[in-house]
Amino acid sequence: MNQILTKRKKLKLESDTGWGYAFIAVALIAFSLFTAYPVINAFMISLQEYRPLGSTYVGLENFVNSFSDELFWKALKNTLVYTLLTVPFNIFLSFLIAILIIPFKKRTQTIFKAVYYLPAVASGVSLAVVWLWIFDPLKSGIANQVVGFFGIDNQNWLGSSATAMFSLVLMSWLSSHGTAIIIYLAALLGIDNSYYEAADIDGATFLQKLWFIVIPFLKPTTLFLLVTGVIGSFQVFQNAYLMTGGGPDHSTTMVGLLIFNNAFTYFEFGEAAAQSLLLALVIAFISYFQFKVLGKDIEY
């Protein structure tokens, strides 16, 4: 009898294991096709002078060319500046809005969530068209109307090296923060009320509660938004491509745009693949550094 029960348990375990492999097989196939294969293929292309009808193996020449290309370093610098100016401010703004929304009732919170998240579902192209109108160099542009109120002459916002990067940064600051706000709201609602009640008994002020309760509890959320924000910022392409095309004088050329131009404008697929792998290494290093420095005292 015991042998029969043991055999049934073994068959059930084997059946459950088979179903487990069947379920993860879908994810594994998708990962292999759309992540692993492109990365491996990009590495193979980066070692070639790639041509559709016959490629030539060139070893590390594409990587050497990228390192000696001044435009690659300028694009990397532009991307780093853009990231430093946008990601911390966007996280702070999302946190501030979430703090302002949290005291409202649930229905009012839902309205604010919908309002702030609405731009996230809009097409990036349509948003870029609106921003092109805002940065119109003529007097009819909203940005020029605003600075004209302070007696400043019309500015060629996107056509001048002095203001093009600032215009892209401003666009990022005032664009959608809906996802980060919703994540922060979920994290705020997850803080136990007993901490606030204990702080009230001790006579803590709003700022003391914010500093000693809210910010420490939201540290894992902030780290998540910081890491994903930096990764997204280093991959920025759409805004630079649609708003400035990387100009003027490459002052807004980001690494993503440079890779796109090398691949699909100049058909230098090998160099584009090498630069994309270098960009992946930069992102991986920065992400590791963020987890190492900011995530060492975080408990998940």
pLDDT of amino acid 224? 92
Q: How far is CA 284 from CA 19, 50, 93, 231, 257, in A?
A: 34, 26, 26, 9, 19
Collapsed DSSP state (helix, strand, coil) of residue 265: coil
Q: Which residues contact 202 (CB under 8 A, 6 or more apart)?
A: none
Q: What pLDDT, on a 0 to 100 scale, did the predictor assign at position 1?
A: 58
Per-residue pLDDT, 3: 65
Q: Strand, helix or coil at 41?
A: helix
Q: How high is the pLDDT of residue 85?
A: 94
Which domains are delineated in the chain?
A: 16-58 (no CATH), 70-295 (1.10.3720.10)
| Nearest-angstrom CA–CA distance, 99 and 106 | 14
pLDDT of residue 101: 92
Task: Give the pLDDT of residue 261.
Answer: 93
Nearest-angstrom CA–CA distance, 217 and 207: 15
Ordered per-residue pLDDT tens for the chain, 300 residues:
566 666 666 666 667 777 888 888 988 999 899 889 999 999 999 998 887 777 888 888 999 999 999 999 999 999 999 999 999 999 999 999 999 998 888 888 889 888 888 887 777 888 888 889 999 888 878 898 988 888 888 888 898 888 999 999 999 898 878 889 999 999 999 999 899 999 999 888 989 999 999 999 999 999 999 999 999 999 888 888 989 888 888 899 999 999 999 999 998 999 999 999 999 999 999 999 888 888 777 665
Q: Which amino acid is at 67?
A: F
Q: What is the pLDDT of residue 114?
A: 87
Strand ranges, E, within the chain: 48-49, 56-57
Q: For residue 257, count other CB atoms closer than 10 A to its CB.
A: 23
Q: What is the pLDDT of residue 4?
A: 66
- Please give the pLDDT value at position 95: 94
- The token pair that represents 107 in the structure block: 């229905």
What 8-state DSSP symbol labels residue 267?
A: -
Phi-psi region of 203 (alpha: psi -120 to 50; beta: other; left: phi over 0): left
The predicted-structure confidence for 17-68, as pLDDT tens digits, reads as follows 778 888 889 889 998 998 899 999 999 999 988 877 778 888 889 999 999 9
